Chain A
Amino acid sequence: MLGEFLHILAAAAVSWILFVTVDILFKLPETGGVSGASAIARDIEAGGGALAGGTMMGNIVCSPDASAGTLLAACGVYVAGIPGGLAAAVLVYIGNRICHDPGYAGTTGAVLATFVIYGFTQIGFAATDFIAGMVIAILTIQGLSHTHASRLLARLWRVRE
């Protein structure tokens, strides 16, 4: 019981690092992909957050990016191993095209996450740990405090620049 909980927390840390890295490498905080993302960024900034972090959070809301790729890759690995993860990458790519997004961040994140999660299943982690861990990771970005999360993301984005 406790061991599984620790596994979930470790998986949350791994997937947090994975999707934030991929998102920042693909310059999500730079500009809002659609007008809705810019509106969310403006509202978060009005609530006391930073604009770059708010833009990235708006982009996460408005199109499936690396975080969605990580979640669906974890689901795919749980259902069908590595082929399931790659099928999830294809589904993320289709979803990106539906939402008027180039779709490179989501697809890259899904393919990368497939192999990372498969590697962790070889050393004792279960794929379900990564599904719950990814939900916890997205909760820390989008669900706890928009002000602090957007400031943290803006600081990471300044490092990337």
Chain B
Amino acid sequence: MIAIYVVAAIAVFAVIRATIERNTGRKLPYVNVMNFAVAGAVVLLLDHPLALAAAAAYFVGSTLEANAVASTYAGGERRG
């Protein structure tokens, strides 16, 4: 079971990159990598059919969050 260690290490790496990056638009792809890693880790931690639903709910929810942040960021920048 080396897979889950790989996934967790990638999550930490992506979070460090996201925290160092200052530009909001370039920060979001790093956060997206962390979302992929956490959604994978959820299923790897617990082998149960509902874990798939939890991973999908987390992934869609965080994508929606990134979508909303990016849209508001774009709108605010265009007006400003």
A and B touching (Cβ–Cβ under 8 A): yes
Contact assessment for A128 and B33 in the assembled complex, using a CB-CB cutoff below 8 Å? no
* A42-59 at interface with B (beta carbon < 8 Å): 42-44, 46-47, 57-58
Total interface residues on A, using CB and 8 Å?
A: 55
The secondary structure that dominates the B interface is helix
A35 with B75, Cβ < 8 A, contacts A4-B2, A80-B49, A98-B64 known: yes
Residues of chain A lying within 8 A (CB to CB) of residue B44: 78, 128, 131
Contact of A72 among B48, B52, B73 (CB under 8 A): B52
Q: Which of B2, B13, B30 has the most CB of A within 10 A?
A: B2
* A11-35 at interface with B (beta carbon < 8 Å): 34-35
Q: Report A's interface with B, CB cutoff 8 A.
A: 1, 4-5, 8, 34-40, 42-44, 46-47, 57-58, 60-64, 67-68, 71-72, 74-76, 78-80, 84, 87-88, 91-92, 94-95, 98-99, 126, 128-129, 131-132, 134-136, 138-139, 142-143, 146
